Amino acid sequence: MSTDPHAWLIALEGVPSGFRAARDGIDVLLRDRGLRRTSPELTAESLLRGAYASAVLEGSGSTLEEVRGGTGDETAAAAVRVATELLSLLPVLRRQPLQAFARLHTLAARGALPDELLGRPRGGESAAKLRGVAELVTAPTQAPALAVAAVVHAELVAAAPFHSHNGIVARAAERLLLAARGVDEKSLVVPEAAHLRLRAAYESNLRGWSTGGRAGMHAWLIYATEAYAAAAEASPLVTDG
């Protein structure tokens, strides 16, 4: 029997080909535009756009201009704190994903929860689920890196392991995995913006992952292939010229 926890998804109809196409699109973007134009400022802009989109998905009413100017609401501020420190967590995610998840939650929930709840699972069951997600990050797999990121995102949302801000943590973990697995090392694509653009499908398919059995999981993965294509289109490499 395979010990690859992602082996099941490789055989799903439309999933391997969909992720190959999405990865090809990202690779073309980063090769044709990124090699000439990559800069820390573009990475910072991508992270800011992602923070804004993630905050809106979490319920923020702030505009992009307010987030850019530092005057957004508390949910926006939480997403910006996460984005600011996100890439520094790359080595932590690779070695100790539980610690990375805890740090993401600590950054997001600072000021909204008592200090003793920051980075802490809601209970024993939540802690076990979080360990299971961490194992998905570190387990050897033949599955595409994009698929692993999509699964981890959905599993974190479904588990809701923390007392708050689980969506922000899940979307940050997804972006971090794209960098850690070599898909987008400088974090120039904006998956959060894609999820916001496709919000109805995003939220519906996330619910399907949790409640729709294998068919719901399949639908989420097909959605993710579309979202990653949209994430490349949302990159500042595209929209800045």
**Helix locations, the chain, DSSP H:** 7-10, 15-29, 35-37, 40-57, 64-68, 74-85, 90-95, 97-109, 124-138, 145-159, 166-180, 191-197, 199-211, 213-233, 236-239
pLDDT for the residue numbered 35? 61
| Distance of alpha carbon 107 from alpha carbon 122, whole angstroms | 17
| Distance of alpha carbon 124 from alpha carbon 21, whole angstroms | 40
| Distance of alpha carbon 40 from alpha carbon 143, whole angstroms | 30
In this structure, are residues 212 and 70 in contact, taking their beta carbons and an 8 Å threshold? no
Q: Can you give the pLDDT of all 241 residues of the chain as single tens digits? A: 568 999 999 889 999 999 999 999 999 999 877 666 678 999 999 999 999 999 999 999 999 999 999 999 999 999 999 999 999 999 999 999 999 999 999 999 999 999 999 999 999 999 999 999 999 999 999 999 999 999 999 999 999 999 999 999 999 999 999 999 999 999 999 999 999 999 999 999 999 999 999 999 999 999 999 999 999 999 999 866 4
pLDDT for the residue numbered 240? 61
Residues in the chain: 241
| Distance of alpha carbon 55 from alpha carbon 39, whole angstroms | 25
Structural domains of the chain, ranges and CATH numbers in brackets: 11-239 (1.10.3290.10)
| Distance of alpha carbon 206 from alpha carbon 208, whole angstroms | 5
pLDDT for the residue numbered 241? 46
Neighbour tally for 1: CB within 10 Å: 4
Of the candidates 82, 9, 98, 14, which has an alpha carbon nearest to the alpha carbon of residue 48?
Answer: 82
Relative orientation angle of helices 199-211 and 213-233, to the nearest 10 degrees: 150
Radius of gyration (C-alpha) of the chain in whole angstroms: 17
**Measured at the alpha carbon of residue 158, what is the angle toward residues 100 and 4, in degrees to the nearest 5?**
70
Cross-strand pairs, 110? 113
